[in-house]
């Protein structure tokens, strides 16, 4: 994002702050106004039993934060850490060592942004482990989005015959490291891959040719051994008689390297705005249609499903919507149009999300609950990014002239209706604030040529 545009074109705007809502659960505008907000642990009360909710409510009445914290430690901690999804590493390494093998980078530029966003970290780690291209392509099919559940790892293990030993590390010392094993259930194990999962980021778990002594004492080593190449400096493991001692056979587990870098504050948070600036440029380079339609037959064999009765099949797409959403895609505007972002809100305002990335359409469908109704303004355009991912289109789409008004279908068994709000209000979105006296900023205030 080009912040200078906002700062120079929006009156009285003097500062822009960005907060990662995954790190600041429950963040309110009041917190922001009071200054730098404190990171809050996730507190999902919906996961509690009725008895636990009653106990928690009683503890709240006491006003004792220590008792409430103890309650969550005993009842909620496991649920907080259960997700274990795969995301890109949210930090840059400021120590000048090469960790690109683990999808960790020293700087953010077009090349590193490509490596950071092109593949999910789990797939990236498997590539580094030497998994063959055919198997990697199947993994990409299974893991279509960056954020995926643990069950997908077991699914990959069952399909490929690869066993995964995942060591889960925690920087805050509140929990001991644990190991989760995924072993093929219906076929012979052909190989085992060791992975490290830290901060929701998967990496190939192996030993590195460096010492933690080098990391902790890098500044002093640099002053005295500046002429020594970095690979040799990384093997320094102690100092004797005012001389640094090098051991070329020394290696250190990846977890020890990561934890030491964290403790020495060599991880600097990535600016999401800067990352989006690079990734929107990347989407422009990937607008050409797919030309390679080859596939791996061994991953396509499936048992034939039993035919459903017409009545059961009919009921799947005739339903009363239980969830209503309003959505809009942002797309590249030159050459082939390709969506790189979707924003959507629920009817009651309880959900307001934005999904970035070239897989934003599939991730959006993954998040939709069963019996959902989604409105797009000018569905004839937006349906191009949704329709290809639908499992099945049911009934006959309602089309009038060149305008698509309604489509009903299924996505992984979940019933979905998609309607065009333009059929009801045939005015452009940018006219809505004046028509309905809405207190909003003007649409398209951010020039398209900045990100497309």
Tell me: pLDDT of 174 over 70.
no
What is the pLDDT at residue 71?
79
Q: What is the mean pLDDT of residues 293-317?
A: 57
424 and 439, same domain (yes or no): yes
- Report if residue 73 sits inside a domain: yes
- Report if residue 220 sits inside a domain: no
443 and 317, same domain (yes or no): yes
- Report if residue 288 sits inside a domain: no
Tell me: pLDDT of 235 over 60.
yes
165 and 70, same domain (yes or no): no
Q: How much is the pTM?
A: 0.50
12 and 144, same domain (yes or no): no
What is the pLDDT at residue 388?
78
Average pLDDT, the chain: 78
45 and 34, same domain (yes or no): no
What is the pLDDT at residue 184?
92
Query: Domain range holding 98?
Result: 91-208
Rounded (10°) angle between helices 121-128 and 133-142: 170
What is the pLDDT at residue 285?
40
Q: Any idea what the CATH number is for the domain that residue 142 is in?
A: 3.90.70
What is the pLDDT at residue 212?
94
Q: Any idea what the CATH number is for the domain that residue 329 is in?
A: 3.30.420.10
Tell me: pLDDT of 424 over 50.
yes
Q: What is the mean pLDDT of residues 161-165?
A: 94
What is the pLDDT at residue 227?
79
Tell me: pLDDT of 438 over 80.
no
What is the pLDDT at residue 164?
95
Q: What is the mean pLDDT of residues 123-147?
A: 85
Among candidate residues 177, 208, 239, the one where a domain is terminated:
208
Q: 320-334, 336-350, 367-381, 432-446: lowest mean pLDDT where? A: 432-446
108 and 153, same domain (yes or no): yes
- Report if residue 246 sits inside a domain: no
* Buried/exposed code over 86-124 (b: 16+ C-beta within 10 A; e: otherwise): bbbbbbbbebebebeebbbbbebeeebbbebbebbbbbb
CB within 8 Å of 452: residues ≥ 6 apart: 280, 284, 331, 332, 333, 334
112 and 178, same domain (yes or no): yes
Residue-wise pLDDT for 108-121, tens only, equals: 888 888 888 788 89
Question: In the chain, what percentage of residues exceed pLDDT 90?
Answer: 24
Rounded CA separation 187/190 (Å): 9
Which helix (H) or strand (E) is 328 found in, with range?
Answer: strand 323-331
Report which of residues 70 and 7 the model is more confident about.
70
What is the pLDDT at residue 145?
57
CB within 8 Å of 374: residues ≥ 6 apart: 324, 325, 326, 327, 344, 368, 416, 417, 418, 419
Q: What is the mean pLDDT of residues 32-46?
A: 63
61 and 170, same domain (yes or no): no
164 and 76, same domain (yes or no): no
What is the pLDDT at residue 275?
62
- Report if residue 214 sits inside a domain: no
Instruction: Please count the structural domains in the chain.
Output: 4
Among candidate residues 80, 103, 138, the one where a domain is terminated:
80
- Report if residue 157 sits inside a domain: yes
Tell me: pLDDT of 29 over 90.
no
Tell me: pLDDT of 303 over 60.
no
CB atoms within 10 A of CB 340: 23
Among candidate residues 182, 208, 234, the one where a domain is terminated:
208
142 and 66, same domain (yes or no): no
Tell me: pLDDT of 243 over 50.
yes
Q: 250-254, 356-360, 422-426: lowest mean pLDDT where? A: 422-426
What is the pLDDT at residue 81?
40
What is the pLDDT at residue 286?
40
- Report if residue 287 sits inside a domain: no
Residue-wise pLDDT for 270-285, tens only, equals: 765 666 655 554 444 4
Tell me: pLDDT of 348 over 80.
yes
Q: 167-181, 234-248, 252-266: lowest mean pLDDT where? A: 167-181
- Report if residue 158 sits inside a domain: yes
Tell me: pLDDT of 316 over 70.
no
10 and 118, same domain (yes or no): no
pLDDT confidence band for 205 (50 / 70 / 90):
very high
Report which of residues 402 and 416 the model is more confident about.
416
Tell me: pLDDT of 253 over 50.
yes
375 and 395, same domain (yes or no): yes
Residue-wise pLDDT for 5-14, tens only, equals: 554 556 566 5
Q: What is the mean pLDDT of residues 159-163?
A: 92
3-state class (DSSP) for residue 134: helix
pLDDT confidence band for 234 (50 / 70 / 90):
very high
Report which of residues 376 and 58 the model is more confident about.
376
Report which of residues 26 and 408 the model is more confident about.
408
Report which of residues 338 and 351 the model is more confident about.
351
């Amino acid at each position: 994002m080009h912040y200078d545009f906002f700062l120079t074109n929006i009156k009285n705007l003097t500062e822009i702050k960005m907060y990662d809502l995954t790190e600041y659960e429950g963040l309110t505008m009041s917190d922001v106004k009071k200054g730098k907000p404190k990171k809050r642990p996730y507190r999902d009360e919906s996961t509690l039993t009725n008895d636990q909710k009653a106990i928690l409510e009683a503890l709240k009445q006491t006003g004792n934060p220590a008792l409430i914290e103890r309650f969550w430690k005993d009842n909620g901690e496991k649920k907080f850490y259960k997700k274990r999804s795969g995301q890109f590493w949210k930090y840059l390494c400021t120590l000048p060592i090469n960790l690109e093998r683990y999808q960790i980078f020293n700087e953010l530029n077009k090349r590193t942004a490509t490596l950071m966003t092109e593949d999910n970290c789990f797939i990236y780690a498997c590539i580094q482990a030497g998994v063959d291209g055919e198997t990697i392509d199947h993994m990409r099919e299974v893991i279509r989005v960056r954020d995926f559940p643990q069950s997908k790892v077991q699914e990959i293990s069952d399909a490929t015959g690869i066993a995964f030993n995942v060591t889960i590390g925690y920087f805050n010392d509140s929990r001991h490291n644990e190991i989760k094993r995924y072993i093929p259930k219906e076929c012979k194990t052909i190989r085992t891959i060791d992975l490290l999962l830290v901060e929701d980021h998967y990496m190939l778990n192996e030993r590195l040719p460096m010492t933690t002594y080098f990391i902790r004492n890098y500044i002093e080593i640099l002053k005295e051994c500046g002429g020594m190449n970095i690979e040799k400096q990384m093997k320094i493991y102690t100092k004797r008689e005012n001389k640094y001692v090098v051991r070329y056979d020394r290696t250190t587990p990846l977890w020890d390297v990561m934890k030491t870098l964290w403790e020495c504050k060599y991880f600097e948070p990535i600016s999401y705005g800067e990352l989006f600036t690079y990734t929107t440029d990347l989407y422009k380079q990937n607008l050409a249609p797919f030309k390679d339609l080859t596939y791996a037959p061994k991953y396509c064999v499936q048992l034939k499903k039993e035919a459903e009765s017409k009545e059961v099949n009919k009921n799947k797409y005739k339903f009363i919507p239980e969830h209503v959403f309003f959505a809009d895609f942002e797309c590249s505007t030159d050459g082939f149009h390709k969506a790189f972002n979707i924003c959507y809100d629920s009817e009651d305002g309880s959900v307001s999300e934005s999904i970035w990335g070239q897989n934003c359409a599939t991730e959006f469908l993954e998040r939709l609950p069963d019996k959902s109704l989604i409105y797009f303004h000018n569905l004839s355009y937006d349906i191009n990014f949704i329709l290809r991912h639908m499992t099945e289109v049911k009934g006959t789409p309602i089309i009038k002239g060149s305008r698509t008004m309604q489509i009903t279908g299924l996505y992984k068994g979940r019933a979905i209706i998609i309607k065009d709000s333009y059929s009801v209000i045939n005015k452009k979105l940018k006219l809505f604030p004046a028509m309905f006296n809405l207190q909003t900023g003007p649409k398209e205030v951010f020039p398209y040529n900045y990100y497309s």
